[in-house]
Amino acid sequence: MKRVTLAAVLMAVFTLNNVVSASATPSSEKRAKYEKTGHVFWDIPIEEKLVAFTFDDGPDPTFTPQILDALKKYKAKATFFVIGEEAERYPEIVKRQASEGHEIGNHTYRHHFRDGYSPAMLKKELDKNSEVIKSLTGIKPTLFRPIAGYYDEEIVDTAIEGGYNVILWSWHQETRDWSRPGAAKITQNVISDTRPGDVIIFHDAGGDRSQTVKAVEDILETLYKNGYQCTTVSDLLYRSNSPLPAPLH
C-alpha cells in the first residue's frame, strides 16, 4: 500500500483551498461573460428596497427552524439552497419552508466538491435533488447555486440546459458566516452596505450556525427599520428591470 505522507495531505488541502479561493475571486470580465447568458446572477437590478436572503447547505434540524422563526416574525421570505441528502433526512423542514412561502433551490444532492466532476455527474446530481424537492414541495426547483460558489463554462451550460438559473451572490454581501466571526461581525457585513437587489449568502447547516441565527434576527430588525424587505430570489428577478429569460428545457 502506498504510504501517504503528511506533506502530501497538506499539499492536497492547500491545492483545494486555492481552487475554491480562485473560483470565488471576483472578476468583472468573467462575470460579464456569464451575465450575458441571461441565466447567471450575482445581484438583481432593482430600485425597490428589496433584498434576498439565501441559505446554503440545509436543512438542519437545529438551526433551520430557528431561522424560519425569525423570518416569520418579520414576514420575510428567503431562498434555501438545499442539499438533497439533507432534505431526505429532514423532509418536514423542507415542507415547512415551502408552506411558509419560501423558495427552495437546488444545491446538488450530495454536496461533494468536484468529486468525480463531469457534466454528466452534475446533471445526475441536479436531477436527483430536483426529484427530492419536487416530491416534498410539489414544485420543481428552477434555481441552482454551485457548491462553494465554483462555476465554469461546463457547470453553467449544464445548469442552463437543465432549466436552471445560476444564482451566486452580491460580492459585497459575502457574510463569511461559515467562519463563525461572531454575530455582530456577520450583521455588520450585511447592514454596512445594503443595496436594493442584493443577494445575501448565509449558511443554515454544516456546523454550529448559532451566530448566523442571531445575526439574521439582528439584520432583519435593522433592515426593516430602514424600509427594506426580504423576498425570494425569483421575486427579485421578476421585479427587476431586465425581464427574466424563459428557462431552457
DSSP state of 248: P
Helix or strand holding residue 234 (H, E)? helix 233-239
How many whole angstroms separate alpha carbon 38 and alpha carbon 58? 27
Burial (CB count <10 Å: 0-12, 13-18, 19+), residue 150: middle
Choice among 102, 111, 203, 204 that is catalytic: 203
Evaluate whether 80 touches 106 at the Cβ level (below 8 Å).
no
**Known active-site residue 193:** no
Choice among 43, 56, 60, 204 that is catalytic: 56
How many whole angstroms separate alpha carbon 105 and alpha carbon 53? 12
| Cα–Cα separations (whole angstroms), residue 242 to 160, 182, 197 | 18, 37, 12
How many whole angstroms separate alpha carbon 93 and alpha carbon 170? 27
**Known active-site residue 112:** no
| Cα–Cα separations (whole angstroms), residue 216 to 57, 75, 107, 234 | 16, 13, 21, 20
Angle between helix axes 63-73 and 91-99 (nearest 10 degrees) is: 10
How many whole angstroms separate alpha carbon 84 and alpha carbon 61? 15
Q: Read off the C-alpha cell for 92.
A: 418536514
Task: Report, as residue numbers or ranges, the catalytic residues.
Answer: 56, 203
